[in-house]
Amino acid sequence: MSRARVARRIAAGAAYGGGSIGLLGVAAVGVLLAEMQLAKRTVGDGAAPLPPGADGLYGRAFGTEDPLRLALLGDSTAAGQGVRRSGQTPGALLASGLAAVAERPVVLRNVALSGARSDDLERQVSLLITQPLGPPDVCVIMIGANDVTHRTAPTESVRLLSAAVRRLRTAGVEVVVGTCPDLGTIEPVYQPLRWLARRASRQLAAAQTIVVVEQGGRTVSLGDLLGPEFAANPREMFGVDNFHPSAEGYATAAMAVLPTLCAVLGVWPEADRLEPARHENMLPVAKAAAEAAREAGTEVTGARAPWALLKHRRRRRLPVAEGAAGATSEGVGEGVAKRPASGAADTATAAETPAN
Distance in angstroms (rounded) separating the CA atoms of residues 292 and 223: 8
Residues 301, 168, 181, 249, CA torsion sign: positive
279 is catalytic: no
126 is catalytic: no
Q: Which residues of 24-33 are buried (b: 16+ CB within 10 A; e: fewer)?
A: eeeeeeeebe
Alpha helices in the chain (DSSP H): 3-15, 29-42, 76-79, 90-102, 121-129, 145-149, 154-170, 193-214, 228-232, 234-237, 247-264, 285-294, 329-337, 340-349
Which residue out of 75, 76, 157, 246 is catalytically annotated? 76
- φ, ψ at 153 (rounded to 5°): -55, 125
Distance in angstroms (rounded) separating the CA atoms of residues 217 and 238: 29
What number of other Cβ atoms are within 10 A of residue 170's Cβ? Answer: 12
Q: Rounded to an integer, what is the distance from CA 29 to the centroid of its chain?
A: 30
Composition of the chain by helix, strand, coil, percent to 5: 50, 15, 40
Which residue out of 96, 137, 157, 244 is catalytically annotated? 244
45 is catalytic: no
Residues annotated as catalytic (active site), given as ranges: 76, 241, 244
